[in-house]
Amino acid sequence: MSTELIRLTAAELAVKIHSREVSAVEVTRAHLDRIAAVDGQVNAFLHVAREAALANAALVDESIAAGTAPASPLAGVPLALKDVFTTMDMPTTCGSRILEGWRPPYDATVTTRLRAAGITILGKTNMDEFAMGSSTEYSAYGPTRNPWDTSRIPGGSGGGSAAALAAFEAPLAIGTDTGGSIRQPAAMTGTVGVKPTYGGVSRYGLVACASSLDQCGPCARTVLDAALLHEVIAGPDPLDSTSIDAPVPAVLEAVRRGADGDLRGLRVGVVRELGGEGYQAGVQSNFEAALRQLEKLGAEVVEVSAPHFQYGLPAYYLILPSEVSSNLARFDAMRYGLRVENGTSAEEVMAATREAGFGPEAKRRIMLGTYALSSGYYDAYYGQAQKVRTLISRDFATAFAQADVLVSPTAPTTAFPIGEKVDDPLAMYLNDLATIPTNLAGTAAMSVPSGLAAEDGLPTGLQIMAPALGEAVMYRVAAAYEAARDAEGGGALIHRVPPMEVSA
Amino acid sequence: MSAPTLVDYDEVVERFDPVLGLEVHVELSTNTKMFCGCPTDFGAEPNTQVCPTCLGLPGSLPVINHAAVGSAIRIGLALNCTIAPWGRFARKNYFYPDMPKNFQTSQYDEPIAVNGYLDLELDDGSVVRVGIERAHMEEDTGKSLHVGGATGRIHGAEYSLLDYNRAGVPLIEIVTKPITGTGARAPEVARAYVTALRDLLRALDVSDVRMDQGSLRCDANVSLMPRGSSEFGTRTETKNVNSLRSVERAVRYEMTRQAAVLLAGGTVVQETRHFDEATGTTSPGRRKETAEDYRYFPEPDLAPIAPSDEWVEQLHSTLPEMPWEHRKRVKAEWGLSDEELRDLVNAGALELIEATVAAGAPSSEARSWWVSYLAQQANTRGIALDALPIRPADVARVIELVAAGELTNKLARQVVDGVLAGEGGPDEVVEQRGLKVVSDDGALIAAVDEALAAQPDVVEKIRGGKVQAAGAIVGAVMKATKGQADAKRVRELVLQRAARE
């Protein structure tokens, strides 16, 4: 029974819970049991909130038994929350030693909305320290392993959330995407990950990596589940000045429409600069297969050019570290978090704490950013990067004049072995080549599974990009493609994850 | 550090032209902080007016206080500035424990108001125009209390305590253009500028403008150039200037100190200096080993500020009468000479008198109280007139009681003494001290009859038409009632009662 429950989608679970076919408590317990059984191998969770999760599930069951309408279509469904959102009842570490054991006195807006929707938060998921990394190896609490092959990385920074889905530890998860941290792990784990339009989901209570790039989004095993979760977390928030004061795009309706498999009249743009050289053969061939699939659904596939995307990566690695160097300055041992009493002045304590508390990638980016913002270098680095950002936005505008959505492979490769790139930052950074432009432009994009690479049998992802607030068309294409691919591939890809050894 | 040899002030201004630049920080008296909903009240228990945002907790985000922007625009308009149609906040990055995020959110190079001026009237009535470079919005820091050192400064302290109540309080920094050509009057101009600015901000009702509480703070940049030169010398920036008088003293001291350095063949070091109220001197701040690089960049957590023309226009219509216009009107209404008005202004009595008038008192009575009896009391206590523990409304009430015949002038002063002694409002003091004029005719008649009976010869005189003889009886009655009777009424009764017998 419980092994069946964990393989259901969030939508299916919700129906069963709301019709009292199963209880929310049973569903939660099944997932908690699964976590207990497999997370030793996966390390997706940094904290499991067993009691709080069961208590929430019991409340949902009570209210359903009392005949009250569910708080949301996902009430009672369990979820894994990336450990970068503040939670009053759980620690929030951001994968960093410097915040080990920190218990925030307030909930993030996303946390609040999940709770209000009756969703059961199972715990907090592992991540690269302060969301900086593409493999989850830069977590201070050990790497997360990819359920498809536990010798490999699950992508990053949100590897914990993606791996939790692929390991059937949770049907839903929340991620954050600064340069691809939702989409790239989704591709690497055969799951669905959405980076909404910048400002589409509140960042209040999301511990900042790079403020102008960070965006929270839903992670799931199906496009429908992602859409259901999207509608729970999205929408304006007076506590976030950068949240967009506009209605949430009707993504659920778009998914239902996409399910009819008719994409006639839609133009799908293939970005010439995102593909070819540097992309693994199996990634490229799955992408081409996806294009044929989209054409079969009636979409018109056109080629578009985004000449400035090639400068996206360098621009990103100036803007991001600049903001990081400032955002991470607050971790100074004065008010919360780690404190290393090494020295007599405040400055000495700060330096000793930061030396001990930050990992290598965080330090690297703090130094890069500090340098890029220094007087005399600002114009050449930060200033130029901002100009590139504008040019990339223009490239998107031009491309979206020719196509309703743009597509590319989500990541250039499949999941690589743990340890392979951890000492080669540039190789690591190249993983985000295709996802970064969207963050720079503040537009929307998502990754849906596009098959397994022939050469290594590991999942690949199709990235679908849409204009700002164009999530509806993006979800519609994703839903249509997902249905067609699953039909052709003989069922959802996620069910081909090799079974994991279950410890008692 | 040896005490520098100072130069005679006359010689300073004979040899050099001073150049001033004044930076004034004003804490806005908005209900809430610049980027969060915490209250801004001064003097609360440490760390009780804080939230995730003003504590800079991970994940917290700022939201701009619309009312603070409105205040900033009104200040800009009152200073004849151009209001920027679009501007961003920036982050000023530096590590200091009293700054929760280790960056200060400040408008830096995109200020809300630029290029204005303020006209000041000096003591002799002449007018100086000071150019305003800009006014920009930022947030205040928390407060450090350094414990264990001799000076209360960080150097030598054993440990420091932090209070973040002030962190995030809205600040406006108003920066002048270089003030040149004021010669010997530079210190006076500096004081007059801060005074005029304070009055202006008070009229706008945007700040408490209390220098003693830090809601108005002035940093004085001073440099000297040889007379006739137009090339500015090296400047110093003096901080911790906490009163109007200190502004004048600090500028004057820096002029004489720098002149001494220059005349001795030395060079002025560009540095931050600290003003010492007790000695009237300045001393170097902690020398920074490396030049501070604040690594400014636009604040990505906030949307740009883009005040609409309509809003600016609407704010413009809310500007009150400016202090100088106001003074002109008061002068006419109260029939004052230039000199009388200036005395009131210089004594800091103008606003108090006005508030007393606003509370219902005639201007002449109000003036008389504040410039004589109350001024004396302030003087005796060695405090400013507005620091006396009596409200203009209390003074107005006392005046009202006198006018109604319920207090004599002598009793009125006792009532004021009671208020100043903290015994409560005028009515309470009257009640508690039993100071009411004896206006009960029954009690007075008894006293009058008694006095008449005691002096039958005087009664005869009165009856004989010598009305002025009544004075002796009145005096006796006043003595018997310990001065609490209305002398006029007593006199009426004496004449009545004497004629009756």
B100 vs A92, A211, A335: nearest CB: A335
Q: Do B52 and A105 touch (CB under 8 A)?
A: yes
Cα(B380)–Cα(B401) distance, rounded to whole angstroms?
A: 26
* Residue A362 φ then ψ, to 5°: -60, -45
Contact B67, B31 (CB under 8 A): yes
* DSSP designation for A193: E
With an 8 Å Cβ cutoff, are B97 and A346 in contact? yes
Neighbouring CB atoms inside 10 A of B129's CB total: 10
Query: Of A399-403, B252-256, B372-376, where does mean pLDDT reach its minimum?
Result: B372-376
Within 52-81 of B, beta carbons closer than 8 Å to A belong to: 52, 55-64
* pLDDT on residue B344: 85
Based on C-alpha coordinates, what's the Rg of chain B?
Answer: 30
Residues B238 and B380 in one domain: no
Q: Which A residues in the span 304-323 are in contact with B, Cβ-Cβ below 8 Å?
A: 322-323
Report d(CA A186, CA A223) in Å as an integer.
12
Report the gap between the CA of B98 and the closest CA in chain A (Å): 9
Comparing B178 with B496, which gets the higher pLDDT? B178
Question: Which residue on chain B is closest to A324 by alpha carbon?
Answer: B300
**DSSP string over A140-160:** TT----BTTBTTB---SSSHH
Q: DSSP letters of B175-205?
A: EEPPB-S-GGGHHHHHHHHHHHHHHHHHHHT
Euclidean distance between the first and the last CA atom of chain A, given in angstroms as a whole number:
16
A46 close contact with B: CB closer than 8 A: no
Please confirm, yes or no, whether A82 is among the known catalytic residues.
Answer: yes
Residue A139 among the catalytic residues? no
Q: Which of B58, B60, B301 sits opposite A242 (nearest CB)?
A: B301
- Whether residue B2 lies inside any domain: the answer is no
A442 CB within 8 Å of a chain B CB: no
Chain B residue closest in CA terms to A107: B59
Distance of alpha carbon B300 from alpha carbon B351, whole angstroms: 44
Give the residue-averaged pLDDT of B476-485.
81
Radius of gyration of chain A (CA): 21
**Residue at B249: amino acid letter:** R
CB contact under 8 A, A330 and B64: no
Nearest CB partner across the interface for A330, out of B101, B160, B296: B101
| Residue numbers in B near A83 (CB within 8 A) | none
H-assigned helices in B347-408: 350-358, 363-368, 375-381, 392-403
**Yes or no, beta carbons of A204 and B60 under 8 Å apart:** yes
Using a CB-CB distance cutoff of 8 angstroms, which residues of chain A are in contact with residue B296?
373, 378
Choosing from A134, A139, A157, A408, which is the catalytic residue?
A: A157
CB-count burial class (<10 Å; 0-12, 13-18, 19+) for B167 = buried
Domain match, B284 and B426 both: no
* Short-list A111, A21, A129, CA closest to A361: A129
pTM of the model: 0.87
Whether residues B271 and B415 share a domain: the answer is no
Asked if A382's CB is within 8 angstroms of B57's CB, the reply is no
Nearest CB to B293; choose among A205, A206, A374: A374
**Which residues in chain B are contacts of A209 at CB distance < 8 A?**
none
A368, part of any domain = no
A333 within domain boundaries: no
- The C-alpha atoms of residue B483 and residue B170 are separated, in whole angstroms, by 54
Distance (Å) of CA B228 to CA A70, B7, B180: 83, 20, 11
Which of B406, B433, B460 terminates a domain? The answer is B433
B107 & B74 share domain = yes
Indicate the residue of A242, A330, A346 with minimum beta-carbon distance to B100: A330
**Are residues B257 and B366 part of one domain?**
no
Q: For residue A201, what pLDDT is reported?
A: 98
DSSP, collapsed to helix, strand or coil, labels residue B246 as helix
Q: How far apart are CA A161 and CA A55, in angstroms?
A: 22
Please count the CA atoms within 13 angstroms of the CA of B491 that sit on its side-chain side: 8
Residue among B62, B100, B300 minimizing CB distance to A323: B300
CB B173 within 8 A of CB B11: no
Give the rounded distance of the alpha carbon of B56 from its chain centre: 32
In whole angstroms, what is the distance from residue A113 CA to residue A231 CA? 10
pLDDT of residue A318: 97
By mean pLDDT, which of A34-48, A90-104, B37-51, B485-499 is the weakest? B485-499
In a domain, residue B315? The reply is no
Q: Which residue of A has its CA nearest to B63?
A: A241
Could you give the CA distance from residue B93 to residue A324 in angstroms, rounded to a whole number?
A: 12
The DSSP code for B370 is I
Domain membership of residue B253 (yes or no) is yes
> Do the domain assignments include residue B242?
yes
Q: Tell me, yes or no, whether B121 and B61 share the same domain.
A: yes
Cα–Cα dist A497/A52, whole Å: 29
Residue A331 in domain:
no
The complex scores an ipTM of: 0.96
Domain with residue A182: its CATH number is: 3.90.1300.10
Contacts 24+ apart (CB under 8 A), B244-248: B244/B191, B244/B194, B244/B195, B244/B198, B244/B211, B245/B191, B246/B275, B246/B277, B247/B187, B247/B190, B247/B191, B247/B194, B247/B218, B247/B220, B248/B187, B248/B188, B248/B190, B248/B191
Judged by a CB distance cut-off of 8 A, whether residue A41 touches chain B is no
Strands in A327-414 per DSSP E: 405-409
Q: Considering the candidates A72, A135, A161, A181, report the single residue annotated as catalytic.
A: A181
Q: Are residues B169 and B26 in the same domain?
A: yes
Task: Say what angle helices A312-327 and A360-372 make with each other, to 10 degrees.
Answer: 100
Residue A375, chain B, CB below 8 Å: the answer is: yes
Contacts of B60 in chain A (CB under 8 A): 106, 204-205
Q: Give the tokens for residue A434.
A: 């295709």
Q: Quick check: A452 and A458 in contact, CB under 8 A?
A: yes
Angle at A19 (CA atoms; ends A14, A22), nearest 5 degrees: 70
Backbone angles phi, psi at B17, to 5 degrees: -105, 125
Contacts of A330 in chain B (CB under 8 A): 56, 58, 100-102
**What is the model's pLDDT at position B4?**
57
Q: Do B302 and A108 touch (CB under 8 A)?
A: no
Query: What's the CA gap between A188 and A283, in Å, rounded?
Result: 11
What distance separates the 2 farthest-apart alpha carbons in chain A?
70
**Is A421 assigned a catalytic role?**
no
Q: Could you say which residues from 79 to 118 on chain B have a Cβ atom under 8 Å away from some Cβ of chain A?
A: 91, 93, 95-97, 100-103
d(CA A221, CA B274): 64
Instruction: Given the residues A82, A124, A195, A421, select the one marked as catalytic.
Output: A82
Q: Is residue B450 domain-shared with residue B392, that is, in the same domain?
A: no
Q: Kindly state the tokens that stand for B139.
A: 């947030």
DSSP H or E segment with residue B223: strand B216-226
Alpha carbons within 13 angstroms on the beta-carbon side of residue B269 total: 9
Residues B392, B459: one domain?
no
Find the DSSP H helices in B229-349: 244-263, 309-316, 323-334, 338-346
Domain count, chain A: 1
* Burial readout B68-99 (b: 16 or more C-beta within 10 A, e: otherwise): bbbbbbbbbbbbebebbeebbbbbbbebbbbb
**Contact flag A332-B297 (C-beta cutoff 8 Å):** no
Judge whether B199 lies within some domain: yes
Distance CA A50, CA A5 (A): 17
Q: Which residue, chain included where needed, has tokens 């204009």?
A: A467
In a domain, A336, yes or no: no
When divided into structural domains, chain B yields a total of 3
Q: Which residues, 6 or more positions from A117, have their beta carbon under 8 angstroms from its beta carbon?
A: A71, A72, A74, A75, A232
How many whole angstroms separate alpha carbon B498 and alpha carbon B470? 9
Chain B residue numbers touching A206 (CB-CB < 8 A)? 59
- Tell me the pLDDT tens digit for each residue of B60-95: 999 999 999 999 999 999 999 999 999 999 999 999
Structural domain containing residue A104: 2-310+389-490
- Rounded CA-CA distance B35/A112 in Å is 21
> Is A204 touching B (CB cutoff 8 A)?
yes
Does residue B332 share a domain with residue B210? no
Torsion sign, CA atoms B449, B450, B455, B456: positive
Contact A106 B52 (CB under 8 A): yes
What pLDDT score does B2 carry? 45
Tell me the backbone φ, ψ of residue A470, rounded to 5 degrees. -95, 25
Judge whether A477 lies within some domain: yes
Q: What is the pLDDT of residue B488?
A: 82
What was the pLDDT predicted at B454?
Answer: 86
| Nearest CA-CA distance, residue B143 and chain A, Å | 14
Residues B448 and B427 in one domain: no
- Other Cβ atoms closer than 10 A to A22: 20
d(CA A183, CA A202): 19
d(CA B97, CA A334): 7
Hey, are the CB atoms on A104 and B59 less than 8 Å from each other? yes
Give the nearest partner residue to B63 out of A239, A350, A373, using CB atoms.
A239
CA distance A99 to A331: 8
Helix (H) or strand (E) holding A388: helix A384-402
Q: How far apart are CA B89 and CA B35, in angstroms?
A: 12
* In a shared domain, residues B75 and B220: yes
Residue A413 covered by a domain? yes
Domain membership of residue A464 (yes or no) is yes
Helix (H, G, I), strand (E, B) or coil at B172: strand
Is residue B5 very low, low, confident or very high in pLDDT (cuts 50, 70, 90)? low
Q: Which of A40, A134, A49, A124 is nearest to A83 (CA)?
A: A124
Q: Is the peptide bond before B144 cis (omega within 30 degrees of 0)?
A: no
Specify if A421 maps to a domain: yes
Chain A partners within 8 Å of B52 (Cβ) = 104-106
Domain extent, residue B330, equals 323-433
CB within 8 Å of B477: residues ≥ 6 apart: B444, B447, B448, B451, B485, B490, B494
**CB-based contact B59 A204, cutoff 8 Å:** yes
Interface of B with A in 287-306 (CB under 8 A): 293, 295-297, 300-303
Residue B316 in domain = no
Split at pLDDT 50, 70, 90, the class of B433 is confident
Whether B4 is in a domain gets the answer no
Nearest-angstrom CA–CA distance, A238 and A282: 45
**Residues of chain B contacting residue A210, judged by C-beta atoms under 8 Å apart:** 300
Instruction: Give the pLDDT of residue A279.
Output: 94
Q: Mark the ranges of chain A whose per-residue pLDDT is less than 50.
A: 1
CB contact under 8 A, A370 and B295: yes
pLDDT for A366 equals 98
Please check whether residue B231 lies inside any domain of the structure.
Answer: yes
Residue A94 contacts B where some CB pair is shorter than 8 Å: yes
Domain CATH for B463: 1.10.10.410
Cα–Cα distance between B454 and B476 in angstroms, integer?
Answer: 10
**By the CB < 8 Å criterion, does B443 face chain A?**
no
Partner-chain contact B95 A332, CB within 8 Å? yes
Nearest to A343 by CA among A335, A351, A333: A351
